[in-house]
Amino acid sequence: MMLHDMVIILSRPQESGNVGAVCRAMKNMGLSQLRMVAPGPLDPTLIRARAVHAGELWETAQWFDSIPQAAADCSLVVGTTRRRGQCRKPVSLSPEALGEYLRNQPGKVALVFGNERTGLEAEELAFCNLASHIPADPGFPSLNLSHAVQIYAYTLFRALSPVHAVEGTWVPLDQTGLDRLVHSVTESLASLGFYKQPGREEQERFFRDVFARAGLSIREGAYLENIFSKAAHLGKIGK
């Protein structure tokens, strides 16, 4: 599935601030489908204030009387819950495990969150096809609604969408990059007459292993390559 196939359903939300924060969390992570089930009295002004620049998610949210109605067009319905019990789902996935599972799941998927105080009721969870939970300290495992949505939104964003490197992000050299860097370094040394005696192949293995363990970024590799290239150029001038 793709990230745009994910539907967030809030069942019986009561806090306007939470709903606004959910909108912001969703937009941060590329989610756009918000569905509301039987919410309590809400303050649109507070929702927009907490949503900041994600107010359009509130404006375009769909409203339903029940979870089955809200999820009617979804091929899979996932209920979020921290509770266990005889009448609840026997298996529950963490957000990370859920993300891995959904990569190969076709169609639209609904992720359902319950009321801030009671969570999903047993009959609501019974309707869901799968349960998911956020691991937390057993002494205080209940998370704020918007915080829970943010954790799932971030995890699913990482699992279901290509994350492109942004400026300043550490991106390590891959094996091809390592080979190119090692070749450039040893070529620079060779141009200075460094390998008049056998030993280049052994030193190439040494450089390759050291650079790999150092976890050089692409930018650092280019910088190091430039240093050796300049050193070789200056060495040739001095001859």
The verdict on 68 and 114 lying in the same domain is yes
Q: How far is CA 169 from CA 164, 165, 166, 176, 219, in A?
A: 10, 6, 6, 19, 10
The verdict on 81 and 114 lying in the same domain is yes
> Using CA atoms, how far apart are residues 196 and 193, in angstroms rounded to an integer?
6
Question: How is residue 201 written in tokens?
Answer: 């192949």
- Residue 197: pLDDT band (50, 70, 90) is confident
Render 20-50 in DSSP notation, one character per residue.
HHHHHHHHHTT--EEEEES-----HHHHHHH
The residues near 104 (Cβ < 8 Å, ≥ 6 apart) are none
The verdict on 108 and 222 lying in the same domain is no
Assigned domain for 167 exists: no
* Res 170: pLDDT: 76
The verdict on 147 and 204 lying in the same domain is no
* Res 84: pLDDT: 64
- Residue 58: pLDDT band (50, 70, 90) is very high
Domain final residue pick, 160, 189, 223: 160
Provide the CATH number for the domain around residue 9: 3.40.1280.10
Tell me: pLDDT of 85 over 60.
no
Q: What is the mean pLDDT of residues 167-180?
A: 82
The verdict on 197 and 156 lying in the same domain is no
Assigned domain for 170 exists: no
Tell me: pLDDT of 34 over 80.
yes
The verdict on 69 and 98 lying in the same domain is yes
- Residue 83: pLDDT band (50, 70, 90) is confident
Bridge partners (DSSP) of residue 92 are: 131
Number of domains in the chain: 2
Tell me: pLDDT of 147 over 90.
yes
Domain span at 211: 175-237
- Residue 90: pLDDT band (50, 70, 90) is confident
Q: Are 10 and 39 in contact (CB under 8 A)?
A: yes
The verdict on 14 and 103 lying in the same domain is yes
Assigned domain for 40 exists: yes
Assigned domain for 169 exists: no
* Res 1: pLDDT: 86
Domain final residue pick, 133, 160, 187: 160
Q: Are 128 and 112 in contact (CB under 8 A)?
A: yes
Tell me: pLDDT of 86 over 60.
no
The verdict on 154 and 76 lying in the same domain is yes
The verdict on 101 and 203 lying in the same domain is no
The verdict on 156 and 192 lying in the same domain is no
Assigned domain for 168 exists: no
Assigned domain for 165 exists: no
The verdict on 66 and 182 lying in the same domain is no
**DSSP reduced 3-state for 9:** strand
Tell me: pLDDT of 159 over 60.
yes
* Res 237: pLDDT: 76
The verdict on 42 and 68 lying in the same domain is yes
